[in-house]
């Protein structure tokens, strides 16, 4: 059997950028390493795909023994079809040297139905394009293909005692889109194959396409010549504006003329970079600090969002809090106290979480968080699900003060913040502290997947180790928040 030239993922890559396809096929080693977050998303997709197989039980799985042996799966799929199989998982097909694998293939009344599983609630245009390519290939080798559907998550499903897969998943036919897009698919396959037939790499400059539909994983190669203080570091500027400057030859923020038509927040970033000075609006900061009542506490909550609900009454992607850290100060120059809660694995953490959170914050008239949106939505949902705690939880949300506001409003800005208003960037810029970099877990997304992973873990040492890493991360977050709060206080007051 001839080796395939294109797969579903390399096809999608080619539509985004032919240079990316060329690099992927010829210089794979230059690919940026997969982040922990992306790896976790892939793993989640695989788990949901396996669960969806139960919608059509009794099938045969023809997954290859290694990603380099899909040819075996193509042969096995054909053998099973000829032998009268009615359900095949990971069925593989090749047409015109384009290889696709399909999550579930089902035969009903002599007609074939194809299903691709996605672990999200929305069907994106990329998912539809994926499906169009699969439909194109399968229809050319399986004449009885009647329909092609995407199976995805019904986010309004609520778990009762038992998981009901027919309620959790919904099925949407994309056959019409696939038929409509066939000329586009054929055209793009030809373009991709032509690019691969060339000896020279396609000459593609960096552009907005590097970010759409995905952040390209060859940015480490193509973007490495961008200088520090590049125009792409500016926040609040559209990509098209940044590339307009780039095409004019402005590589650094310092190159942007003073009379450029930009928002005031962007002008401040440019001026801070050019002058090396910090911007500080002491009156506004003083007004903010006046709202703080002591003793004050600094709070951070971590959540998991299981695609498949695990606790009765919860829904797909519902934020389930499992960890909080609270640093407390009796006065701005007092020695801080610390409180932390992390839930046991494999049990619904919400009631204990509520009780512990109320106890940890009740004595503090001001509760400072960084970007209140998540904390408030988690607490409001807890109050909705456990009305017996509604009063205390409402009292807690009333006390929340959002410390992201002074940064979002740019009452303080300096060039080292690099246009970012994330605490992870502000903390090292203000406090010259790189604690986050040294942590095994250093983002909320990593924390969520790490906690989800240990739900099924039987190695208790591993569970304890991950819980320790999670606690350290959350504790560092509130400590950083408190330190930035004090540092800015000292500058402003």
Number of residues engaging ligand SF4 in binding (CB under 6 A): 13
Using CB under 6 A as the binding rule, whether residue 303 contacts ligand SF4 is answered as: no
Among 216, 234, 340, 480, binds ligand SF4 (CB under 6 A): 216
Among 4, 19, 327, 339, binds ligand SF4 (CB under 6 A): 19
Q: Which residues contact 233 (CB under 8 A, 6 or more apart)?
A: 253, 418, 419
Using CB under 6 A as the binding rule, whether residue 209 contacts ligand SF4 is answered as: yes
Using CB under 6 A as the binding rule, whether residue 204 contacts ligand SF4 is answered as: yes
Give the three-state DSSP class for 134: helix
Using CB under 6 A as the binding rule, whether residue 17 contacts ligand SF4 is answered as: yes
Using CB under 6 A as the binding rule, whether residue 20 contacts ligand SF4 is answered as: yes
Among 99, 117, 210, 368, binds ligand SF4 (CB under 6 A): 210
For residues 220-249, which are near ligand SF4 according to CB under 6 A? 222
Q: Which residues contact 350 (CB under 8 A, 6 or more apart)?
A: 311, 320, 321, 382, 385, 386
Among 219, 280, 292, 431, binds ligand SF4 (CB under 6 A): 219
Q: How many Cβ atoms sit within 10 Å of the Cβ of residue 456?
A: 9
Give how far Cα 236 sits from Cα of 34, 253, 266, 419, Å.
Answer: 27, 14, 6, 8
Q: Which residues contact 34 (CB under 8 A, 6 or more apart)?
A: 217
Contact 276, 415 (CB under 8 A): yes
Of 26-34, 203-211, 229-237, 441-449: span binding ligand SF4 (CB under 6 A): 203-211
Give the three-state DSSP class for 421: coil
Among 93, 112, 127, 218, binds ligand SF4 (CB under 6 A): 218
Binding mask 348-387 for ligand SF4 (x = CB under 6 A): ----------------------------------------
CB of 196 to ligand SF4, least distance (A): 14
Specify the residue, 19 or 418, whose C-beta has the smaller distance to ligand SF4: 19
Q: What are phi and psi of 286, to 5 degrees?
A: -60, -40
Query: Distance between CA 192 and CA 5 in Å, rounded?
Result: 9
CB of 127 to ligand SF4, least distance (A): 20
Of 417, 390, 388, which Cα lies nearest the Cα of 484? 417
Tell the burial category of 247 from Cβ atoms under 10 Å away from its Cβ (0-12, 13-18, 19+).
exposed
Tokens 């396996």 -> residue:
50
Specify the residue, 165 or 204, whose C-beta has the smaller distance to ligand SF4: 204
Binding residues vs ligand SF4 (CB under 6 A) = 16-17, 19-20, 23, 204, 206, 209-210, 216, 218-219, 222
């Amino acid at each position: 059997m001839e080796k395939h030239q294109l797969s579903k993922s390399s096809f999608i890559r080619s539509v985004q950028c032919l240079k990316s396809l060329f690099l992927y096929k010829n210089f794979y080693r230059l690919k940026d390493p997969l982040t922990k977050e992306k790896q976790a998303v892939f793993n989640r997709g695989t788990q949901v795909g396996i669960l969806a197989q139960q919608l059509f039980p009794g099938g045969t799985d023809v997954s290859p023994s290694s990603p380099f042996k899909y040819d075996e799966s193509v042969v096995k799929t054909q053998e099973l079809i000829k032998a009268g199989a009615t359900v095949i998982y990971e069925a593989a097909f090749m047409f015109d040297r384009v290889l696709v694998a399909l999550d579930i293939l089902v035969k009903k009344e002599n007609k074939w139905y194809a299903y691709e599983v996605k672990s999200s609630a929305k069907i994106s245009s990329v998912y539809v394009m994926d499906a169009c390519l699969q439909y194109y290939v399968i229809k050319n080798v399986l004449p009885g293909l009647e329909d092609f559907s995407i199976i995805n998550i019904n986010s309004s499903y609520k778990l009762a005692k038992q998981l009901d897969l027919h309620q959790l998943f919904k099925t949407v036919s994309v056959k019409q889109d696939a038929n409509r897009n066939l000329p586009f698919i054929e055209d793009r396959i030809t373009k991709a194959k032509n690019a691969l037939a060339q000896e020279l790499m396609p000459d593609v400059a960096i552009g907005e396409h590097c970010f759409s539909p995905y952040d390209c994983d060859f940015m480490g190669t193509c973007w490495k010549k961008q200088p520090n203080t590049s125009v792409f570091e500016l926040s609040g500027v559209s990509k098209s504006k940044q590339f307009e400057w780039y095409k004019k030859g402005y590589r650094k923020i310092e190159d942007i003329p003073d009379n450029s038509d930009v928002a005031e927040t962007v002008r401040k970033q440019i001026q801070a970079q050019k002058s090396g000075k910090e911007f500080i609006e002491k009156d506004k900061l003083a007004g903010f600090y006046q709202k703080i009542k002591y003793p004050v506490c600094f709070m951070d909550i971590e959540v998991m969002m299981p695609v498949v609900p695990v606790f009765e009454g919860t829904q797909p992607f519902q934020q389930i809090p499992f960890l909080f850290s609270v640093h407390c100060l009796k006065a701005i120059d007092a020695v801080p106290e610390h409180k932390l809660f992390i839930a046991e694995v494999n049990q619904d953490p919400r009631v204990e979480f509520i009780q512990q959170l109320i106890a940890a914050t009740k004595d503090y008239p001001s509760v400072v968080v960084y970007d209140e949106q998540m904390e408030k939505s988690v607490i409001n949902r807890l109050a909705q699900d456990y009305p017996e705690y509604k009063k205390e939880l409402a009292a807690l949300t009333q006390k929340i003060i959002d410390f992201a506001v002074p940064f979002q409003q740019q009452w303080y800005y300096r060039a080292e913040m690099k246009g970012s208003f994330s605490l992870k960037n502000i903390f090292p810029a203000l406090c010259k502290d790189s604690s986050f970099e040294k942590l095994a877990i250093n983002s909320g997304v990593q924390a969520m997947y790490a906690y989800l992973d240990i739900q099924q873990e039987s190695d208790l040492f591993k569970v304890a180790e991950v819980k320790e890493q999670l606690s350290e991360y959350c504790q560092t977050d509130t400590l950083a928040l408190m330190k930035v709060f004090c540092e800015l206080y000292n500058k402003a007051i």
